[in-house]
Amino acid sequence: MIRLHSTVTFWLSSREHQHLRYNPLRDTWVLVSAHRMKRPWAGQVEKPPEEHTPRYDPRNPLCPGNTRANGEVNSDYDSTFLFENDFPALQPDAPDPGSDQHPLFQSKVARGVCKVMCFHPWSDVTLSLMKKQEVVKVIDKWAELIEELGTTYLWVQIFENKGAMMGCSNPHPHCQVWASNFLPNEPALSDRCQRAYYQKHGEPLLLQYAKQEAEKKERVVVETSDWLAVVPYWATWPYQTLLLPRRHVLRINDLTTEEREGLADIMKQLLTKYDNLFEISFPYSMGWHGAPTGPHLNKDNSHWQLHAHYYPPLLRSATVKKFMVGYEMLAQDQRDLTPEQAAEKLRNLPEEHYKTRENLEKGGGKEKDGEK
Contacts of 275 (CB under 8 A, 6+ apart): 126, 128, 281, 282, 353, 354, 355
Q: How many angstroms separate the CA atoms of 88 and 178, rounded? A: 9
The packing angle between helices 257-278 and 132-150, to 10°, is 120
Q: Is 39 assigned a ligand-binding role in the annotation? A: yes
First to last CA, the chain: 54
Give strand ranges (E) for the chain: 19-23, 28-32, 81-84, 112-118, 155-162, 174-180, 220-223, 227-230, 241-245, 284-289, 307-311, 314-317, 320-321, 333-335
Q: 98 near 234, Cβ under 8 Å? A: no
User: What does the angle CA 216 – CA 222 – CA 228 come to, to the nearest 5 degrees?
Assistant: 70
For residue 330, how many other CB atoms are within 10 A of its CB? 7
Q: Is 327 assigned a ligand-binding role in the annotation? A: yes
Q: Is 169 assigned a ligand-binding role in the annotation? A: yes
| DSSP labels, 160-198 | EEESGGGT----SSEEEEEEESS--HHHHHHHHHHHHHH
Q: Is 182 assigned a ligand-binding role in the annotation? A: no
Q: Of residues 52, 102, 120, 174, which has the active-site annotation?
A: 174
Q: Is 323 assigned a ligand-binding role in the annotation? A: yes
Whose CA is closest to 310, among 221, 183, 209? 221
Q: Is 161 assigned a ligand-binding role in the annotation? A: yes
For residue 217, how many other CB atoms are within 10 A of its CB? 11
296 is catalytic: no
Q: Is 167 assigned a ligand-binding role in the annotation? A: yes
Q: Is 318 assigned a ligand-binding role in the annotation? A: no
Q: Is 335 assigned a ligand-binding role in the annotation? A: no
245-255 burial, b at 16+ Cβ within 10 Å, e below that, comes to: bbeebbbbbbb
Backbone dihedral region for residue 169 (phi beyond 0: left; psi -120 to 50: alpha; all else: beta): alpha
Q: How many angstroms separate the CA atoms of 152 and 141, rounded? A: 17
Whose CA is closest to 341, among 272, 244, 273, 239? 239
The packing angle between helices 354-362 and 257-278, to 10°, is 70
Q: Is 85 assigned a ligand-binding role in the annotation? A: yes
Q: Is 69 assigned a ligand-binding role in the annotation? A: yes
Q: Is 89 assigned a ligand-binding role in the annotation? A: no
| DSSP labels, 359-372 | HHHHTTTSPPTT--
Q: Is 36 assigned a ligand-binding role in the annotation? A: yes
DSSP 329: H
Q: Which residues are marked as active site?
A: 174
Known binding positions for UDP-alpha-D-glucose:
36-39, 69, 85-86, 161, 167-169, 176, 322-323, 327-328, 334
> Which parts are annotated binding residues?
36-39, 69, 85-86, 161, 167-169, 176, 322-323, 327-328, 334
